A and B are shown apart, each in its own frame.
Chain A
Amino acid sequence: MSLRVDLVEGGRIAVRTLGVNRLRTVLTLSAIGIGVATLLAILGIIQGLNGAFARQLASLGTANLNIARRPYVVTGDWWRYRNRKQITLAQMQALAQQSQLATAVVPEVNEEGKELYAGDQSVSNVDLVGTLSDFQKIWGYEVPIGRFLTDADSDAERQVVVLGSDIAEGLFPGRSALGQSVRMDNRPYRVVGVLAKKGQILGQSMDLVAMIPFKTFLAVYGKRDFQIDVGLDDAKDLDRAEDEITGIMRRVRTVPPGEPDDFSVNRTQQLADTYQKLTSALYGVAVGVGLITLLVGGIGIMNIMLVSVRERTREIGLRRALGARRRTIVVQFLLEASLVSAVGGAIGTAIGLGAAKLVSLVTSLAAAVQPLTVLGGIGFAAMVGLFFGIWPAARAAALDPVEALRYE
């Protein structure tokens, strides 16, 4: 007898059995459904988070480098970086002159935790940046309202500021910030531009930032530790540019040959690496939990299939007596197990996607689900059923027809 007949007949029996034993079907369905739902909800949230992070990272641009005393992400011996020499304006100017690959070089000075006021409104925990006009080009900032800082602002040490969107909304709710006056450290600044919203990176808002001209910053806050930001034409030049810049910086900072660099050349990519390092362990645990749930569901299926085989021992004996081969019996029970799992998987997929969607609505976590995940969820559930159906099916096929017919 052909395998096709086995499959058609096995499928027919499977569908019928599921319809007859409703309570058992529902229990089995929920066992596998909960597993798939858990796994898919977790995967959906992970995909969402990853997608959001990738978008945020892309908003920073990729054809740029940052030269600072410390790497972007400090792990372990933070004190090593504290004693490094400061980066000076002269070093920046040398870099700008000598680099072939850099298309823009700007200084950057920072103060954290600033508080800004306008009327009776205030916004705290603001990142203050002092820089020049090319900063906008290097980091891909968009200024939909007003304009960015100019080098003339810096040369004249003008008291002007470009605000991140969160600050603008916080200080001037419901009205335009442009041309308004804000106060910071008891000095007035005139708002000349508002940045487009950038969102968060690694949980840090990119919109709580205020930018003032470089020389204005120096005049107000004195000489500070510089960073240098470098823009390139093409992200493909990053490796070559890093080599070139490292060479120039070692020379101007007189690092003896053989000594390690006393500065860091940073890339946006480092943030992505850190993100992956931070999240992969967490994702692993979450997916593991989902898999364990599915494993429990699979064992539930196996249990129910074993009961089903025992209950239908005489039926198996009869089918064997009437000419069913062992393979026919195996196919019948495997189909039954995978069908119930696939249906459970489909229901679980719907619930899981719903849960992921709910999470993204209720919390700020973004959930995204790719269509492939849906098919994968159903297919994976069927595979689980198939796998955990093997033993019961093998036991059914191994029954001696004579014994099986006599079974009470």
Chain B
Amino acid sequence: MLIKLEDIRRYYRVGTEEVHALNGVSFQLAKGEWVAIIGQSGSGKSTLMNVMGCLDTPTAGRYWLNGKDVSHMSDNELADIRNREIGFIFQTFQLLPRETALGNVELPLIYRGLGAKERRERARTALDQVGLSNRITHRPNELSGGQRQRVAIARALVTDPSLLLADEPTGNLDSATGQEIIGLFEQLHRAGHTICLVTHEPTLAARCPRAIRISDGVIVKDGPGPEVALDGRTERARVAAVT
């Protein structure tokens, strides 16, 4: 198993109150799987994504990523794990405005300590993969929303991570561009990448082979994407949503 979560709990203290953002989450993810994590805002899906992305550590429970128990690692170790194992894709793209597309994609390789020449080569290849080889010297403000997200995806791919972690990747895009990006994810899935997509949109989750619905910090349903995402709708509505 590439990813194994075992009774993951994450509690916060807000004032005098203890908030149980994750209340015992367990699931596994095989290499090459594409899973959607779906839930309303406040359901705990963002906390789950932060834990899976090693940006946050669980209060209790164990998390194995690519064979390593990362649940109790130090801050520095987690930084290295993020650099090697995780490819983040954010709703707001999170590109550095003063860097070119190439510079943005190179960024995680700098923190890996690679030389300039190798960085540039790998960044070019990654940009080529997302279909932006003719935009490498553009800055983010010279690119459309869809192109920006492609740069961000290239940045996630460039380190060849075990897991691509996408947080509402189409949330800031119009629907046509959103479809393009989902198409790109489908391509990456076919190429063998492991993808975890966090969203509150049932139609998006329905495109994934597998979906996990989370509510009040626990998993309420885990199964094929369309089934979990469109839970409770009629068969006709499901078909309409997917097609």
Contacts and interface: CB of A to CB of B under 8 A. Distances in A.
A319 B98 contact: no
A27 interface: no
A353 B173 CA distance: 58
Contact of A321 (B88, B96, B98, B112): B88
B69 interface: no
B55 interface: yes
Interface stretch (A172-180, A232-240, A265-273, A323-331): A323-331
Interface in A289-330: 314-315, 317-328
Contact of B112 (A20, A323, A326): A323
B96 A328 contact: no
Q: Looking at chain B's contact residues, is the secondary structure mostly helix, strand, loop, or mixed?
A: helix
A323 B98 contact: no
A9 interface: yes
Q: Looking at chain A's contact residues, is the secondary structure mostly helix, strand, loop, or mixed?
A: helix
A325 B76 contact: yes
Contact of A5 (B53, B88, B113): B113
B82 A321 contact: yes
A279 B79 CA distance: 57
Nearest to B88: A321
Interface in A320-368: 320-328
A324 B78 CA distance: 10
Interface in A1-53: 1-2, 5, 9, 16, 20
B94 interface: yes
Interface of A: 1-2, 5, 9, 16, 20, 314-315, 317-328, 401-402, 405
Interface in B122-169: 155
A323 B82 contact: yes
B111 interface: yes
B94 A323 contact: no
A402 B56 contact: yes
Given A314-B94, A325-B80, A326-B75, 7 more contacts: A5-B113, A319-B107, A321-B88, A322-B88, A323-B80, A323-B82, A401-B55
A321 B107 contact: no
Report, nearest first, the 4 A-B pairs whose CB atoms are least far apart.
Answer: A323-B83, A323-B111, A322-B108, A325-B79
B96 A323 contact: no
Interface in B174-210: none
A405 B94 contact: yes
B34 interface: no
B96 A315 contact: yes
Contacts of B56: 402
Nearest to B80: A323
Given A318-B96, A405-B90, A324 B50 contact: no
A309 to B, nearest CB: 16
B203 to A, nearest CB: 25
B110 interface: yes
10 contacts: A5-B111, A16-B98, A314-B94, A315-B96, A319-B107, A322-B88, A322-B111, A323-B80, A323-B108, A327-B76
Contacts of B84: 323
Interface string B54-70: 01100000000000000
A335 to B, nearest CB: 15
B91 to A, nearest CB: 10
Interface string B106-121: 0110111100000000
B85 to A, nearest CB: 10
B94 A318 contact: yes
Given A321-B53, A405-B94, A328 B111 contact: yes
Nearest to A408: B92
B108 to A, nearest CB: 4
A20 B99 CA distance: 11
Contacts of A402: 50, 55-56
A1 B80 contact: yes
Nearest to A16: B98
A322 B82 contact: yes
B79 A323 contact: yes
A325 B113 contact: no
B53 to A, nearest CB: 7
Contacts of A1: 80, 111-113
A324 B55 contact: no
Nearest to A325: B79
Nearest to A322: B108
Nearest to B50: A402
B50 A322 contact: no
B141 to A, nearest CB: 13
Given A9-B110, A402-B50, A320 B79 contact: yes
Contacts of B94: 314, 317-318, 321, 405
